[in-house]
A and B are shown apart, each in its own frame.
Chain A
């Protein structure tokens, strides 16, 4: 190896150049074994695991915009698995375990940082529900503990734990293995691996219709021509209804704007993730230093990828209540995505009335954390024509049987 740090040609060490493109830009073929509609995190992860776990590579991911420019580019990257019910705990914990090995699997840095999450309790009812959830988590092998206000202050010293605020902090649940990751890198890592396996990632290709034969879909109509498909997986998040309406499959989701915001870059002040259901905000600090905050959806249905400013105002008021030091921070940027919300705040995954169409939607405000987990389970579902056990409880039929997985009430806040 030549040493370029000394001698006449001396120049400081440079990291290797980032390649101009991490994946090819192929022309769509006329036909694929599997067509995945939607190139967000879920579509890309599904492609990766189809190749890696099942050897299925004659696959196209069709994306109407640019890869991972939807919710994957807009979420606040919170990853946790401390959900109440066994069904949710299983899929989210499976996902968290995959996150823990993902950098190695993808061979790509994703800045996964397990800095823990505090879910604050502000009322006696919050305390009861938190304790119940901690015990449920422990029974499911998930790291969880209940801590008092003094412990909260030790883990995140800038939280206002004094008793003279409107919603005093009575304690919190703590999941140390929760964390954040760099969402773009996650998408690019999955995309690169899928591309290497020979899967075609096709951008600027909107699905506008389907060709069917009885109860089978034979192909998709796109803005780049017709493409025949052996199987079709819908991974269109907030836009799912626009596709299922074309197929005549009724799906109980409502699309809502969901907004988030960041502050200017600040010194590290916020070492963990803090979520508060009652005061209604959650905060983490990104690697570069911005405070990242979010809260709930805008009330009305919307596909506009933007929301109303009074929602942002409320988030900031809540944040300043919990973190008085934020009063002097400046808002840098706000944005919105479109999230597909269900009645029980749980996803809808599995088979549809068409025998070769698979549905993956309804992740609402919290599907980023599920990215590797759902990719894994949806790939299995497609490959075996049968729901993976972790997604089986989340089928469309639960709205008829009544076996809802209600994660609204007790399982912390959304996201």
Chain B
């Protein structure tokens, strides 16, 4: 099984982790001013590259903390 490096606990088995999708998606600063297009972009659109992706992961069956990792979606290898 793939080992994932938790910044707090060290390498642990993949089944202990929960995937949180693309990292760095900020809540809109002025939500009331967003157009429908901008809302759609915020709610439904996420990066989907074939290659490195900045992602949120949670060590849900361990320390339960969230962290950001860079993983290559083509090889599944964690880069950072």
Contacts and interface: CB of A to CB of B under 8 A. Distances in A.
Interface string A229-254: 00000000001011001000011111
Interface string B3-40: 00000000000110011010000000000000011011
B48 A241 contact: yes
B55 A300 contact: yes
A301 B14 contact: no
Contact of B44 (A252, A301, A302, A304): A252
A308 interface: yes
A408 to B, nearest CB: 14
Given A241-B49, A254-B46, A300 B41 contact: no
Given A301-B73, A302-B73, A250 B49 contact: no
Interface in B37-72: 37, 39-41, 43-46, 48-50, 53, 55, 71
Contacts of B48: 241, 245, 253-255, 301
Contacts of A254: 21, 46, 48
Interface range on chain A: under 10, 10 to 19, 20 to 34, or 35 or more?
A: 20 to 34
A309 B46 CA distance: 26
Contacts of B44: 252, 343, 399
B5 to A, nearest CB: 15
A277 B43 CA distance: 26
B43 to A, nearest CB: 8
Contacts of A299: 18-19
Contacts of B21: 254, 301
A215 to B, nearest CB: 17
A358 B45 CA distance: 19
Nearest to A244: B48
A245 B2 contact: no
Interface of A: 239, 241-242, 245, 250-255, 299-304, 308-310, 343, 399-402
Interface of B: 1-2, 14-15, 18-19, 21, 36-37, 39-41, 43-46, 48-50, 53, 55, 71, 73-76
13 contacts: A242-B49, A251-B45, A252-B40, A301-B53, A301-B73, A302-B73, A303-B50, A303-B73, A304-B73, A310-B14, A343-B44, A399-B40, A402-B36
